[in-house]
A = this chain, B = another copy of it.
């Protein structure tokens, strides 16, 4: 088994992003990513700091918009929508993302529609998802795009491969399945209602785990030699992160496996940045 090195892929991608950002700056365009943070979640705060740090390192301005409500109230749908509309209309902003978790009763699909598709660098607008399904040019959710980026850099053929995606979320499972389908894999989407999940997964040449349950993909889920992409980022009690794949159990069986941390995560961040410079580039033609 060989580890798929997400950090190395991210490094290569970020070098390309930095070069592109420098080119844009030389033309007077400062690529800018706006991150809307509607809650006080600690995990989110950590993640947003890491995005900002990464962005600024590669020459992208990062504007964090932390929405606050007077306690005990939480930020409402209207305020999130207003901020997303404002940023979508602001010519100095090229990429807009809205961080989860959202306040209770608010869904990402609901607010995503207020992010301009031209700035929707994390594919939260259902129009972006529809364009993805239709095979049109669009921004895919960065995590789903990271799954494909990692697969395409490996020496394997996706065309005709059996791909199984475990998880059917709108942000990861479904877009990853659609991207794999665009690459001509035969794609199966599994979820909590799937019967004999291990047997279905064992058919996979490419297995994508995106369920959010620590270590649930064990040895009996994996065909010998399969490529396994672990999207899970489950916090451990000691402040670490583990994936959805039981790494120790699966490593001897899989052909290739992404570690957690160091797999999908860094590539996701790098692709958010790449999407932002692409969006900045688009302003030259779309204004």
Chain A window 144-164, contacts with chain B (Cβ cutoff 8 Å), 1 for yes, 0 for no: 000000000000000110100
**Chain A residue total in the interface (Cβ 8 A):** 35
Q: Does A1 contact B (CB under 8 A)?
A: no
Given B130, B170, B189, which contacts A126 in the complex, CB threshold below 8 Å?
B130
Binds B, one of A2-10, A20-28, A38-46, A133-141: A133-141
Binds B, one of A55-63, A192-200, A227-235, A242-250: A192-200
Chain A window 179-192, contacts with chain B (Cβ cutoff 8 Å), 1 for yes, 0 for no: 00100111111110
Q: Does A127 contact B (CB under 8 A)?
A: yes
Chain A window 183-219, contacts with chain B (Cβ cutoff 8 Å), 1 for yes, 0 for no: 0111111110111000010000000000000000000
Given B162, B189, B200, which contacts A181 in the complex, CB threshold below 8 Å?
B189
Query: Complex formed: what's the CA distance from A145 to B74 in Å?
Result: 39
Q: Does A88 contact B (CB under 8 A)?
A: no
Given B136, B159, B200, which contacts A109 in the complex, CB threshold below 8 Å?
B136
